[in-house]
Structure 1
Amino acid sequence: MDRGLILRDVTITKGATPLLTVDHHIRPGKVLTVMGPSGVGKSTLLAFITGTLALDFAATGTVWLDGHDITHAAPHKRRVGILFQDDLLFPHLSVGANLGFGLRPGGTAAGRQAKVQEALEEVGLAGFGDRDPATLSGGQKARVALMRMLLSEPCALLLDEPFSRLDATRRAKVRDMVFDRARSRALPVLMVTHDADDAQAAGGAIMTLGD
């Protein structure tokens, strides 16, 4: 079985206009960075992988994850995690409850709470479980969003310019944390960005669109 995320002859069009073509195998723990200006189809590629492609786009090709063809699977069954520019934390839930939302169904209440506490400790936020997300800094929110996604136990990670709203210091720290966690969990990573520093920090292959 070919592990990792495989984009096999994927072509995305809008009307009669081809936007991009990708054929790549992202192996566990490795990163493919897709670069290019706004409007070239970077985020549209992520939408195709997650099963949320807008109706005004069309796509051909297949998406394989750990040996399974997920091209037509329901979005919630694809086991693909994604981080966006915005942290998208639920404002009506505490930090701990936000993390608990990411957990897969099942287990005891005590066991689930223990996983939440372990996640907070892993990213240096022990004791933050009862905090209102609005009281967190941008870097802290990014860490909570990352751990919420990882608690869902994804088999691949998509990054949609998730560092772009952070200042330079926080950006470097959060970026390193994201890639370290992905490598430690052997997750294939597909990142879209227009930032060369992010691409360099990611390592791995780089594909440039819109040239």
Structure 2
Amino acid sequence: MADGLQLDRVCIERDGTRLIEIDRTVAPGEVLTVMGPSGVGKSTLLAFITGTLPAGFSGHGTVRLDGTDITRLPPDRRRVGILFQDDLLFPHLSVGANLAFGLSENVSRAKRREKVQHALDEIGLPSFFDRDPATLSGGQKARVALMRMLLADPRALLLDEAFSGLDAALRAQMRDLVFARATDRRLPVLMVTHDAEDARAAGGAVIELGAA
């Protein structure tokens, strides 16, 4: 089996109506963009991949990650990271504790601190370990959310309109950061968006849903 994220004859239905059909492999370090208007089923496709398909929808087909069939695994065992439009940081935890949340429980306290500090250095926030997430700017929150997800050591990355809540300058900055980290870690990326500029920045193949 090939490495990367393989969607083998995946079909998402609701009330007997087919919303999405896709048969595609995303290679390590590549980005596949799925575009379309709101309500066409883009986020539902990601939910099927992560094992969180909402009630009322049904999914068929096989999802493989680096050759392993993950279709029926529980969400926490799929090793699929996802970023949303909202950062979803835990408000009751410090920035450092938010990042540590993504680490394995088997990591010692000292090693956790070391890994979190290295992550903060990597995203340009070296002194933010004890900061309250409420004091962060939108761009800072987005960077922390990205690094928290990466610290969980995913083998694939899903982007659910991840850049749409940012202004133009931050949007370009975050796209560069996310795609660079995915390339460095050789992560296959599946991005859903309604923004053509996101697709152009990704530079990979594009699937358009709901097109006439």
User: C-alpha distance in 1, partners of 2:89/2:7?
Assistant: 29
Structure 1 match to 2:143: 143
Q: Judge conservation of contact 1:104–1:153 (CA < 8 Å) in 2.
A: no
% identical equivalent positions? 68
Q: Judge conservation of contact 1:9–1:21 (CA < 8 Å) in 2.
A: yes
User: C-alpha distance in 1, partners of 2:193/2:149?
Assistant: 19
Q: How does 1:18-167 map to 2 (within 5 A)?
A: 18-167=18-167
Shift of 1:105: 2.1
User: C-alpha distance in 2, partners of 1:50/1:142?
Assistant: 21
Q: Secondary structure at the match of 2:101?
A: helix
Q: Judge conservation of contact 1:33–1:199 (CA < 8 Å) in 2.
A: yes
Q: Secondary structure at the match of 1:24?
A: strand
Unaligned runs of 5+ in 2: none
Per-residue deviation, residues 86-110 of structure 1 (Å, max 9, x unmatched):
0000000000000000112212111
User: C-alpha distance in 2, partners of 1:128/1:45?
Assistant: 35
Q: Which amino acid letter does the alignment assign opposite residue 96 of structure 2?
A: G
User: C-alpha distance in 2, partners of 1:18/1:169?
Assistant: 37
> What TM-score comes out, normalization by structure 1 length?
0.99
Structure 2 match to 1:179: 179
User: C-alpha distance in 2, partners of 1:45/1:96?
Assistant: 32
User: C-alpha distance in 2, partners of 1:108/1:63?
Assistant: 33
Structure 1 match to 2:189: 189
Q: Which amino acid letter does the alignment assign opposite residue 148 of structure 1?
A: R
Q: Which amino acid letter does the alignment assign opposite residue 93 of structure 2?
A: L
Per-residue deviation, residues 156-198 of structure 1 (Å, max 9, x unmatched):
0000011100001111001100000000000000000000000
Q: Judge conservation of contact 1:94–1:132 (CA < 8 Å) in 2.
A: yes
> What TM-score comes out, normalization by structure 2 length?
0.99
User: C-alpha distance in 1, partners of 2:105/2:150?
Assistant: 14
User: C-alpha distance in 1, partners of 2:209/2:10?
Assistant: 14
Q: Secondary structure at the match of 1:114?
A: helix
RMSD: 0.6
Q: 4+ residue stretches of structure 1 with deviation over 2 A?
A: none
User: C-alpha distance in 1, partners of 2:163/2:104?
Assistant: 26
User: C-alpha distance in 2, partners of 1:193/1:82?
Assistant: 14
Unaligned runs of 5+ in 1: none
Q: Secondary structure at the match of 2:59?
A: strand
Shift of 1:2: 1.1
Q: Secondary structure at the match of 2:82?
A: strand
Q: Secondary structure at the match of 1:102?
A: coil
User: C-alpha distance in 1, partners of 2:105/2:26?
Assistant: 28
Per-residue deviation, residues 51-80 of structure 1 (Å, max 9, x unmatched):
000120011110000010000000000000
User: C-alpha distance in 2, partners of 1:99/1:59?
Assistant: 32
Q: Judge conservation of contact 1:3–1:65 (CA < 8 Å) in 2.
A: yes
